[in-house]
Structure formats: structure tokens, C-alpha cells
């Protein structure tokens, strides 16, 4: 594997880490890297020819629960930047993959990566770019009002408003104090694994069909990383109904995009992400 060895050397960085004892954790915060990467089996084939490390994420600055509001996304995004900067400075990896569905700190991380010539990818950004390849229009199946609006902000700032048919809410918010989550997402996943009916999956199917029939979606993407586990199930169930539509989850898209960019020798454009003392400057920029 000496050839591929030098080709792809990726660092995957989690969005944040929760305290060990948090009752709100949705994934493992330590252990072998494979165990910490949710749904590892779904992306293992893409990591076969990659030398990869996994950073567990900076400690969450706002409490002991996951990220859902804009305030939390901002705080978590800022806490992630030193991790990205340190990774770039280490010189070990040739691409950085930011895990997490709402891309906290992504734009800023690309700016950092740009200075080191290292491409940085993130889940929602990669999904939206991939979504345009097989079709014109995608819908986002997502978990809650607050998270929907984060996805909305990303669609706007990544300039995909014309290609996003809709954001569909299945209303399975992340756990958060003071109330303990009545419908924990990991329980839904386990139900599906046991062959039982999951309300989360059934609602996702229903909203996907509405996205197809009412909104014109030709691809479905999953918004929050806590919903990525549904990808194979949702795609299969829709196909069984006669809707042969691709369903995209973020980890595989972000890894695949990182490979594409390394393969093409690309990172962010210096014109879109200028340094603080650029060699050349432009008098005028259109929007």
C-alpha cells in the first residue's frame, strides 16, 4: 500500500467532545478511532486507501449537551479553530475533514487551511456539492426547528438557494437540559437494527416523499450527523416504494470530496480566502 500511503493522509475532526459523564452524548468520546466514528461501517470502504486519524473535537464550551442553536454553533466553531490550526501546522496530513452536520467553523477553517495549502472539507458543504452532480435539486431531511435554521443559513451562505428544494423537519430535537429527551435518537437506531419500526425513520420517509412529490427534490440529504445512520435504510425504503433517489449522508461526502481535492491538487481559492497581506489585490469584487 506504499502508493496510497503518500496519497491520502486525512485528519477527521469531530465537531466537539462532551464530558465523559454527559447524559446527552450521542457518540463515543474515546476509544479506537473506528469506534468513535459514528456509522463507521458505512464509510469504511472510502477509508481503505486513506491513512487517517481522528481528533475527538475540542471540549464543548457551552455545557454538556450537543450543538443545535446558532449561539452554540458559533461557540463550538470558534473552539474548533485552534485544533484546525494545530493540525495544519503539524504537517502530518494532506487534508482535513470536519465531521458534524452543521459545519461549525468551516469557513474559517478553510481560510486557515488555505495558508498551509491543505484542503478542508465539511459534511453539509460536501453534501450540497455532491447533490448537484446527479441532479438539479435536493431537499434536506433534518431534525428540529433550530437545526433547520442552521442548515438554512448554510444553504444561503454556500449559495445553494436555487438548488435546495426544501428543508423538511422530522422534529427529533437533540437532547438538552432541563428536559430529558423523550425520544432518544440512539434508541431509534437500535430499533431499526432490531428490525422494529422507528418513528424517526418513518417520519423521514414521509417527509422525503413529500419533498419528492411536493417540492421537486431529486436527491435527499440528511442534515444533522445524528441522523446519518438512516442513510442506507432511508434509501432502500424509498427505492422499495418506487422512488429510486440517492440519499446522502455527510461523512462519506466529506471524505470523498477531500480525496477529489487532493487528487486535483486543490484547496480553497486564495482569491476567495485572501491572506492578510496578499501579493495582489483587486479594486472591485462583485457579489
280 binds a copy of itself (CB under 8 A): yes
**DSSP output for 13-27:** E-S-B--TT-TT--S
d(CA 204, CA 211): 10
- The interface mask with a copy of itself, positions 197-216, x = CB under 8 A, is ----------x--x-xxxxx
Per CB under 8 A, contacts with a copy of itself among 48-67 are 48-49
Q: Which SS3 state, helix, strand or coil, does residue 220 take?
A: strand
- Closest distance between a copy of itself and the C-beta of residue 147, in Å? 9
- Measuring CA to CA, which residue among 143, 132, 88 is closest to residue 110? 88
Strand bridging mode 138-142 / 164-169: parallel
Strand bridging mode 219-222 / 247-248: parallel
Q: Is the CB of residue 149 less than 8 Å from the CB of residue 69?
A: no
Among 37, 87, 245, 250, binds a copy of itself (CB under 8 A): 245
- Total binding residues toward a copy of itself, as defined by CB under 8 A: 103
Among 34, 53, 71, 202, binds a copy of itself (CB under 8 A): 71
- Closest distance between a copy of itself and the C-beta of residue 111, in Å? 5
20 binds a copy of itself (CB under 8 A): no
Among 122, 130, 224, 230, binds a copy of itself (CB under 8 A): 130
Per CB under 8 A, contacts with a copy of itself among 94-113 are 105, 107-108, 111-112
**Residue 202 corresponds to which cell in the numbers above?**
418513518
- Closest distance between a copy of itself and the C-beta of residue 189, in Å? 21
Rank residues 40 and 243 by Cβ distance to a copy of itself and give the closer one.
243
User: If you search the block for the grid coordinates 418506487, which residue do you land on?
Assistant: 242
Q: Is the CB of residue 258 less than 8 Å from the CB of residue 119?
A: yes
Asked if the bond preceding 178 is cis, omega within 30° of 0, the reply is yes
Helix (H) or strand (E) segment spanning residue 151:
helix 145-157
CB atoms within 10 A of CB 222: 26
Rank residues 157 and 190 by Cβ distance to a copy of itself and give the closer one.
157
Contact range with a copy of itself by CB under 8 A, out of 50-58, 73-81, 86-94, 182-190: 73-81
39 binds a copy of itself (CB under 8 A): no
Rank residues 28 and 275 by Cβ distance to a copy of itself and give the closer one.
275
Per CB under 8 A, contacts with a copy of itself among 147-186 are 148-149, 152-153, 155-157, 159-169, 171, 173, 176, 179
Amino acid at each position: 500500500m506504499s502508493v496510497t500511503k503518500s496519497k491520502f493522509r486525512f485528519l477527521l475532526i469531530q465537531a466537539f467532545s462532551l464530558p465523559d459523564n454527559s447524559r446527552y452524548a450521542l457518540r463515543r468520546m474515546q476509544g479506537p478511532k473506528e469506534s468513535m466514528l459514528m456509522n463507521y461501517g458505512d464509510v469504511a470502504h472510502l477509508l481503505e486507501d486513506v491513512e487517517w486519524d481522528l481528533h475527538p473535537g475540542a471540549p464543548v464550551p457551552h455545557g454538556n449537551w450537543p450543538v443545535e442553536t446558532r449561539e452554540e454553533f458559533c461557540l463550538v466553531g470558534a473552539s474548533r479553530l485552534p485544533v484546525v490550526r494545530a493540525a495544519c501546522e503539524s504537517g502530518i496530513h494532506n487534508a482535513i475533514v470536519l465531521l458534524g452536520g452543521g459545519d461549525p467553523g468551516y469557513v474559517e477553517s478553510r481560510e486557515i487551511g488555505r495558508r498551509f495549502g491543505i484542503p478542508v472539507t465539511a459534511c453539509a458543504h460536501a453534501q450540497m456539492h455532491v447533490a448537484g452532480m446527479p441532479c438539479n435539486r435536493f431537499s434536506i431531511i433534518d431534525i428540529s426547528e433550530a437545526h433547520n435554521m442552521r442548515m438554512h443559513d448554510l444553504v444561503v451562505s454556500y449559495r445553494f438557494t436555487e438548488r435546495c428544494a426544501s428543508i423538511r423537519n422530522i422534529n427529533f430535537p437533540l437532547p438538552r437540559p432541563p428536559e430529558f429527551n423523550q425520544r432518544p435518537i440512539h434508541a431509534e437506531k437500535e430499533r431499526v437494527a432490531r428490525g422494529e419500526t422507528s418513528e424517526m425513520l418513518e417520519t423521514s420517509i414521509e417527509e422525503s416523499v413529500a419533498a419528492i412529490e411536493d417540492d421537486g427534490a431529486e436527491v435527499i440529504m440528511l442534515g444533522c450527523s445524528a441522523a446519518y445512520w438512516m442513510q442506507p435504510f432511508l434509501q432502500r425504503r424509498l427505492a422499495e416504494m418506487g422512488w429510486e433517489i440517492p440519499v446522502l449522508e455527510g461523512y462519506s461526502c466529506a471524505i470523498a470530496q477531500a480525496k477529489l481535492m487532493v487528487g486535483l491538487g486543490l484547496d480553497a481559492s486564495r482569491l476567495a480566502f485572501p491572506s492578510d497581506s496578499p501579493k495582489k489585490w483587486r479594486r472591485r469584487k462583485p457579489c
